Structure 1
Amino acid sequence: MKFKKKIRKLIEILCGVIGFVNPIIPKKQNKIFIYNSKPGYQNNYAIYNYIIENKLNEKYKIYYSMPNIKNVIKKEKNIYLNYSLLKSMLHYITAKYVFFDTGNIRIRPSKNQIVMNLWHGTPFKSIGFLSKNVEKDLPRNLMNTFSKILVSSSNMKDVYIKSFNLNNDQIFFSGHPRNDLLLSNKDVFSELNIDRTKFDKVIMWMTTYRISKDGRLCHTSNENWSDTNLPLITNQDAILKMNEILKKNNILLLLKMHTTSKESKVIVEGNTNIKVLEEQEYTSKNIQLYEILGKTDALITDYSSVFIDYLLLNRPIGFIVDDIEDYEAKNGFNLEKPLDYMPGKHIYEFDGLEKFFNNLSSTVSEYEEKRIKVSKYFNEYNYENNCKFILDSMGIKI
Structure 2
Amino acid sequence: MKSFLFRLYLSLMKFRAHFTTMENNNIVILNGSGRSGSNGYAFYKWLLLNHPEYNVSLIEPWPSSHLKWEAWQKIGAARYVITTHQPFKVRKHQINVQLWHGVPLKRMGIMANNTRYRDNKRNEKLWHKNADIVASSSDLYETLMSACMAIETEKYHKLGFPRLDLLDKPVISKEQLLKDLFNTTDSEAQIGIYMPTFRYELEDKTIMDKIKEGNFFAFEDFDGEKLNAELAKRHQYLIVKLHPYEMRLFANFKSNYSNIAFLNNDYLFDHNYDLYELLGDTDFLMTDFSSIYFDYLHLNKPIVFVTNFLQQYKKTRGLLLSPYDEITPGICVDSEAELINNLDHLDNQQIVNRRLYWLHLTSEAKGDSYCQNVFEYMTQEYRG
Into which bin does the TM-score normalised by the smaller protein fall?
Answer: 0.7 to 0.9
| Distance of 1:237 and 1:341 partners within structure 2 | 26
Q: Does 1:357 align with 2:366?
A: no
Q: Determine helix, strand or coil for the equivalent of 1:381.
A: coil
Map 1:70-109; keep pairs closer than 5 Å: 84=67, 86-102=69-85, 106-107=88-89
- Which residue does the alignment assign to 1:131? 112
Q: Does 1:244 align with 2:238?
A: no
Q: Determine helix, strand or coil for the equivalent of 1:121.
A: coil
Query: How far apart are residue 381 of structure 1 and its match?
Result: 1.8
**Partner of residue 66 from structure 1, selected from 53, 56, 60:** 60
Q: How many residues align?
A: 366
- Which residue does the alignment assign to 2:24? 29
Q: Does 1:288 align with 2:283?
A: no
Query: How far apart are residue 352 of structure 1 and its match?
Result: 1.9
In 2 relative to 1, CA 173–140 (structure 1 residues): closer, same or farther, beyond 3 Å?
same
Query: How far apart are residue 17 of structure 1 and its match?
Result: 6.5
Map 1:48-59; keep pairs closer than 5 Å: 48-54=44-50, 56-57=51-52, 59=53
- Which residue does the alignment assign to 1:392? 376
Q: Deviations over 1:341-398 (max 9, x none)?
A: 11000112222211231225xx75650001000111112226431111110111179x
- Which residue does the alignment assign to 2:101? 120
Q: Does 1:343 align with 2:329?
A: yes
| Distance of 1:167 and 1:17 partners within structure 2 | 28
**Partner of residue 371 from structure 1, selected from 344, 355, 360:** 355
Q: Deviations over 1:104-150 (max 9, x none)?
A: x844751x221111111111111222222323321624341322222
**Partner of residue 289 from structure 2, selected from 303, 317, 338:** 303
In 2 relative to 1, CA 186–21 (structure 1 residues): closer, same or farther, beyond 3 Å?
closer
In 2 relative to 1, CA 272–236 (structure 1 residues): closer, same or farther, beyond 3 Å?
farther
* Percent of aligned positions that are identical: 22
Q: Does 1:7 align with 2:16?
A: no
| Distance of 2:155 and 2:374 partners within structure 1 | 14
Higher-helix-fraction structure: 2
- Which residue does the alignment assign to 1:223? 205
Q: Does the aligned pair in 2 maintain the 1:34–1:100 contact within 8 Å? A: yes
| Distance of 2:33 and 2:307 partners within structure 1 | 28
Q: Does the aligned pair in 1 maintain the 2:219–2:308 contact within 8 Å? A: no
Q: Determine helix, strand or coil for the equivalent of 1:367.
A: helix
**Which stretch of structure 1 is more off in the superposition, 138-147 or 337-346?**
138-147
In 2 relative to 1, CA 386–137 (structure 1 residues): closer, same or farther, beyond 3 Å?
same
Q: Does 1:45 align with 2:61?
A: no
| Distance of 2:120 and 2:68 partners within structure 1 | 22
2:351 alignment partner AA: Y
Q: Does the aligned pair in 1 maintain the 2:24–2:79 contact within 8 Å? A: yes
| Distance of 1:14 and 1:272 partners within structure 2 | 47
Query: How far apart are residue 51 of structure 1 and its match?
Result: 1.0
1:163 alignment partner AA: C
| Distance of 2:68 and 2:103 partners within structure 1 | 27
- Which residue does the alignment assign to 1:72? none
Query: How far apart are residue 37 of structure 1 and its match?
Result: 4.8
Q: Deviations over 1:147-190 (max 9, x none)?
A: 22222111121322232232221122232111111111432442
Map 1:178-197; keep pairs closer than 5 Å: 178-189=163-174, 190=176, 193=180, 194-197=183-186
Q: Determine helix, strand or coil for the equivalent of 1:328.
A: helix
In 2 relative to 1, CA 282–330 (structure 1 residues): closer, same or farther, beyond 3 Å?
same
TM-score scaled to structure 2, two decimals? 0.85
Query: How far apart are residue 60 of structure 1 and its match?
Result: 1.1
Q: Does 1:205 align with 2:194?
A: yes
In 2 relative to 1, CA 88–23 (structure 1 residues): closer, same or farther, beyond 3 Å?
closer
Q: Does the aligned pair in 2 maintain the 1:251–1:273 contact within 8 Å? A: yes
**Which stretch of structure 1 is more off in the superposition, 26-35 or 314-323?**
26-35
Query: How far apart are residue 335 of structure 1 and its match?
Result: 1.4
Q: Determine helix, strand or coil for the equivalent of 1:205.
A: strand
Q: Does the aligned pair in 2 maintain the 1:257–1:264 contact within 8 Å? A: no
Query: How far apart are residue 282 of structure 1 and its match?
Result: 2.8
Q: Determine helix, strand or coil for the equivalent of 2:82.
A: strand
Q: Does the aligned pair in 2 maintain the 1:308–1:375 contact within 8 Å? A: yes
Q: Deviations over 1:77-128 (max 9, x none)?
A: xxxxxx716544443333111112136x844751x22111111111111122
**Which stretch of structure 1 is more off in the superposition, 269-278 or 192-201?**
192-201
In 2 relative to 1, CA 163–108 (structure 1 residues): closer, same or farther, beyond 3 Å?
farther
**Which stretch of structure 1 is more off in the superposition, 351-360 or 113-122?**
351-360
TM-score scaled to structure 1, two decimals? 0.82
In 2 relative to 1, CA 177–84 (structure 1 residues): closer, same or farther, beyond 3 Å?
same
